[in-house]
Amino acid sequence: MPVNLTPSAIAMINGGDVNLKPLVQVVDIKQIGSAQERYRLLISDSVSTQHAMLATQLNDRVKNGFVKKGSVIQLIDYICSEVQKRKIIVVLNLETIIPDCEIIGNPKLFIDMTAQKALPNGNSIQSAGFGYNNPSAQNYGNNMQSFQPPLSAQKQGSTVHSFRPPLTSQNHGNNMQSFQSTLSARNHGNNVQSFQPTVQPPYRPPPSYRNHGAIMKNEAPARIIPIAALNPYQGRWAIKARVTAKGDLRRYNNARGDGKVFSFDLLDSNGGEIRLTCFNAVVDRFYDVIEVGRVYLISKGSLKPAQKNFNHLNNEWEIFLEATSTVDLCPDEDGSIPQQQFSFKSISEIENAENNAILDVIGIVISVSPSVPILRKNGQKLQEIVDSGVFPVLAVKAGKVSDFSGKSLGTISSTQLFINPDIPEAHGLKDWFDGGGHIAASLSISRDIMPGGSKNEIRKTVSQIKFEGLGRSDRPDWVTVSARITFVKTDTFCYTACPLMIGDRQCNKKVIRSGNSRWQCDRCNQEFDECDYRYLLQVQVQDHTGLTWVTAFQEAGEEILGYPAKELYLMKYELQDDTRFADIIRGRLFHQYLFRLKIKEEMYGDEQRVKMTVVKADKVNYSSESRYLLDFISKYPRY
- Dump pLDDT digits (tens) for 550-579: 999 999 999 999 999 999 999 998 899 999
Looking at the DSSP assignment, which residues form a beta bridge with residue 593?
483, 619
CB 301 within 8 A of CB 232: no
Residue 639 corresponds to which amino acid? Answer: Y
Nearest to 281 by CA among 248, 243, 324: 324
| The pLDDT of residue 5 | 92
Omega cis (within 30) before 424 = no
Question: Which of 6-20, 195-209, 286-300 is predicted with the least confidence, judged by mean pLDDT?
Answer: 195-209
| The pLDDT of residue 614 | 94
> Where exactly does CATH 2.40.50.140 map onto the chain?
9-109, 227-329, 348-437, 462-493+536-630
d(Cα 350, Cα 359) in Å, to the nearest integer?
Answer: 8
Which strand (E) or helix (H) includes residue 337? none
Torsion angle of the four alpha carbons 292, 293, 298, 301, in this order, in degrees rounded to the nearest 10 = 40
**Pick among 3.30.460.10, 2.40.50.140, 3.30.9.10, 1.20.120.1750: CATH of 227-329:** 2.40.50.140
For residue 284, the SS3 value is: helix
Better-predicted residue by pLDDT, 179 or 114: 114
Other CB atoms within 10 A of residue 162 CB: 24
Better-predicted residue by pLDDT, 304 or 212: 304
Better-predicted residue by pLDDT, 320 or 4: 320
Average pLDDT value for the chain: 78
Better-predicted residue by pLDDT, 181 or 239: 239
Q: Who's near 231: CB < 8 A, 6+ residues apart?
A: 81, 83, 90, 303, 317
Give 111's pLDDT tier (boundaries 50, 70, 90). confident
Nearest to 298 by CA among 324, 272, 270: 324
For residue 504, the SS3 value is: coil
Task: List, for residues 347-406, the tens digit of each pLDDT value.
Answer: 888 888 888 888 899 999 887 765 444 445 566 677 778 777 788 999 999 888 887 656
Mean of pLDDT values over 537-561: 94
d(Cα 464, Cα 121) in Å, to the nearest integer?
Answer: 86
pLDDT(334) > 60: yes
Tell me the longest C-alpha to C-alpha distance in the chain.
Answer: 128
Q: Nearest 5 degrees, angle CA 52-CA 337-CA 250?
A: 95
Give 139's pLDDT tier (boundaries 50, 70, 90). very low
Fold type of domain 462-493+536-630: OB fold (Dihydrolipoamide Acetyltransferase, E2P) (2.40.50)
pLDDT(101) > 70: yes
Query: Across the chain, how many H-helices and E-strands are there?
Result: 11, 33
Q: Who's near 49: CB < 8 A, 6+ residues apart?
A: 10, 27, 42, 43, 107, 108, 109, 110
d(Cα 6, Cα 399) in Å, to the nearest integer?
Answer: 47
| The pLDDT of residue 114 | 55
| The pLDDT of residue 367 | 77
Terminal C-alpha separation, the chain: 85
Residue burial 465-482, b: 16+ Cβ < 10 Å; e: rest: beeeebbeeeebbbbbbb
| The pLDDT of residue 175 | 43
| The pLDDT of residue 151 | 39
Nearest to 50 by CA among 73, 80, 6: 80
Q: Who's near 48: CB < 8 A, 6+ residues apart?
A: 8, 10, 11, 107, 108, 109, 110
| The pLDDT of residue 207 | 52
Residue 572 DSSP code: I
pLDDT(51) > 80: yes
Measured over the CA atoms of residue 93, residue 95, residue 98 and residue 104, the dihedral's sign is negative
Fold type of domain 348-437: OB fold (Dihydrolipoamide Acetyltransferase, E2P) (2.40.50)
Give 411's pLDDT tier (boundaries 50, 70, 90). confident
| The pLDDT of residue 405 | 57
pLDDT(183) > 60: no
| The pLDDT of residue 528 | 87
Over pLDDT 90: what percentage of the chain?
A: 32
CB 110 within 8 A of CB 88: no
Mean of pLDDT values over 578-602: 92
| The pLDDT of residue 212 | 46
Q: What is the CATH number of domain 9-109?
A: 2.40.50.140
Mean of pLDDT values over 274-283: 92
Residue burial 550-572, b: 16+ Cβ < 10 Å; e: rest: bbbbbbbbbbbbebbbeebbebb
Highest mean pLDDT out of 187-191, 270-274, 501-505:
270-274
Mean of pLDDT values over 300-312: 84
CB 135 within 8 A of CB 141: no
Radius of gyration from C-alpha coordinates of the chain = 37
| The pLDDT of residue 377 | 53
pLDDT(239) > 70: yes
Give 454's pLDDT tier (boundaries 50, 70, 90). very low
Residue burial 119-155, b: 16+ Cβ < 10 Å; e: rest: eeeeebebbbeeeeebeebeeeeebebbbbeeeebee
Mean of pLDDT values over 522-546: 91
CB 226 within 8 A of CB 298: no
Better-predicted residue by pLDDT, 370 or 492: 492
Question: Which of 144-158, 374-388, 393-407, 470-484 is predicted with the least confidence, judged by mean pLDDT?
Answer: 144-158
Measured over the CA atoms of residue 357, residue 359, residue 364 and residue 370, the dihedral's sign is positive
CA atoms within 13 A on the CB side of 628: 16
